[in-house]
Structure 1
């Protein structure tokens, strides 16, 4: 087997290896190698640059059932071990530097990482462990090693090479660092906040906040003039904030990336902790007691969970109260005359008369959003008309 000789170096043994660098690779001082290696050579490689880990035991927190991909790899290793190298897609590895020794058939890799093939590595480890480290026959694996010291390029390669495996947008945004400032913003109200940045980060145990939900709520509260700048034909229609979480995340990525949207990005960072706090408050709002909305979860007479389909039209209605305060910081300024009870009563009527007692219908009904926005819009106009 191969083992790291230092923290940063890894001795990778191969059977065959060719330099397949393209002219443009050489011009940019990159190198690309391809070949076959004993499967034992990849067991100890890190995969910290990959956008997805071995999903069956991600982060060692929660066992997950093997997918069809895992089952197919296991079947090949069990029944067609000698054909593994041609039936398996192989592995892509990045390294900051590589020293090739053709005589010894080794590559000394500096800070290597798997960027595509973590599922294969996980199943190979399982295969070796089931045979106490000595399976008798050691299959070969196809490999590609990309040598570059460009960290941004490594991130992009990892994302591009994993699209075939349907990597979720959350992993891509996390890998690109597009959620880091949002996490810092959330820490203004929750000092120990950690955002979910990969599909293997779990929110059920409370260790990570639901990043996608935070971004959905940000868009639910976004004023219409900012949505217009994002080319929304119907900025008043907030249905997408409830029903299209991936669209919300991709819109957020666009806001982070485009310089001419920096004002909207500032809005997102300012409003995020406030918006999420508002969402959490309405999820257990005591004002829903006595409404007889069947889909609300109750325990010992207390409101435990109000469905998001009911909550999102209410949050979208609060966008009428979002404005820039002192120092141009975005805040929610609820007029003194406004009462939550009026919004709850309107939400109840919309739930019954428009959504037919179905929270999913309510979350996807433009009419439900419009009904509640009309109420907050009236209070917002009255508040603006009053002398300061």
Structure 2
């Protein structure tokens, strides 16, 4: 097999922050040992992939990057502190392993990644870019020490054979996404929705459902529904939508939420894109280091165009509370759900409040995305305007 990046033959030193030996009696009887370790994402880049069944798919052609790659990228860029939980990790095999806990390092012989080459590829893609040059976060690895190389081959085959059917594919196959797809295509010519994990064209289905969920009025969600749900449990937005779709004929409340999502979907897409490149972000210096030379935490807050210097992207952790606040202006008219911003509403003021919350939360993107207080603080502004106008 062709070796990937790094060197798999000979000795390899893998630093770690924590390691545990979880070898079972059966493994021990076969001369095998297994460890689980938390390691730096940057150290993962140095390990070869020659015993893997496939190397990084998009290594030679970026067009081969599929939705799985993009989901990994999304977590790396926007939720790096959650990467170790959201990613299934990396499996490394070796013919020998010596753990030196006094120096926090594992010395591996003939090390190779046999499961996780796509994760490694996406890590390399980001950490070697301008955006990720200062980033570092943890990755969980499984180290399997198997002295017999022919058995390593069998392990690699077994670990890469079973492929589960993903939720988007299931929802698409059952027709749950059909009306939403039609709604998006009808309102936004040239756009479409991904109907399975293998679709490379179209909008990310989970993202569209998250944006739609953020715009759902609080009365429809229920008084106790957390505003930060779409950020903290993005995957459940698809689960919930599928549940609503399967019960539209038997449950009026679910039908209402399903119909809302189908109608508001295109609006959510346009609104999210609008705020992502809003002129109001310029001048707030969200990307700069603090007084103590500390950088923003929990992911990159913004990206700028290299030519104009203007903001062209804002992290979801900052945008999600804004989208949630806009739900105060969502109304149903003549059976259609619309987002109507009143003249009294000042977009720059909402951005100013978002920046204020970001700084109050120690400039941590991920914390802001999860903070109920941040959502409440921004919603106070829009809900106050909505209430004043309703009383007139």
In the alignment, what sits opposite 2:358? 351
Structure 1: distance between partners of 2:303 and 2:116: 37
355, 362, 367: which one pairs with 1:361? Answer: 367
1:195–1:209 contact (8 Å) kept in structure 2: yes
Say whether residues 1:339 and 2:346 are aligned partners.
yes
Deviations 1:153-200 (A, max 9, x none): xxxxxxxxxxx7443312221222211111100012222322112222
Aligned-residue RMSD, C-alpha = 3.4
Deviations 1:313-357 (A, max 9, x none): 0000001111101x210001111111101101111111111x211
In the alignment, what sits opposite 1:169? 167
In the alignment, what sits opposite 1:248? 237
User: Structure 1 310/88 Cα, relative in aligned 2: closer, same or farther at 3 Å?
Assistant: closer
Structure 2: distance between partners of 1:63 and 1:331: 35
Structure number with larger C-alpha Rg: 1
In the TM superposition, residue 210 of structure 1 has moved relative to its aligned partner by 1.3
Deviations 1:235-285 (A, max 9, x none): 2x2212112211111011111111211121111111110111000001111
Structure 2: distance between partners of 1:338 and 1:383: 11
Deviations 1:64-108 (A, max 9, x none): 8996399xxxxxxx959xx99xx988xxxxxxxxxxxxxxxxxxx
In the TM superposition, residue 225 of structure 1 has moved relative to its aligned partner by 2.1
In the alignment, what sits opposite 1:276? 269
User: Structure 1 67/224 Cα, relative in aligned 2: closer, same or farther at 3 Å?
Assistant: farther
Structure 2: distance between partners of 1:179 and 1:61: 25
Structure 2: distance between partners of 1:245 and 1:379: 29
Deviations 1:8-35 (A, max 9, x none): xxxxxxxxxxxxxxxxxxxxxxxxxxxx
1:56–1:63 contact (8 Å) kept in structure 2: no
The answer for unaligned runs of 5 or more in structure 2 is 1-53, 70-112, 118-148, 288-300
- Please give the TM-score of this superposition, normalised by the length of structure 1: 0.56
Aligned length: 244
Structure 2: distance between partners of 1:239 and 1:56: 34
Say whether residues 1:263 and 2:256 are aligned partners.
yes
1:183–1:193 contact (8 Å) kept in structure 2: no
User: Structure 1 331/276 Cα, relative in aligned 2: closer, same or farther at 3 Å?
Assistant: same
The answer for unaligned runs of 5 or more in structure 1 is 1-53, 71-77, 90-118, 121-163
Say whether residues 1:208 and 2:206 are aligned partners.
no
Counterparts of 1:173-212 in structure 2 under 5 Å?
173-202=171-200, 207-212=201-206
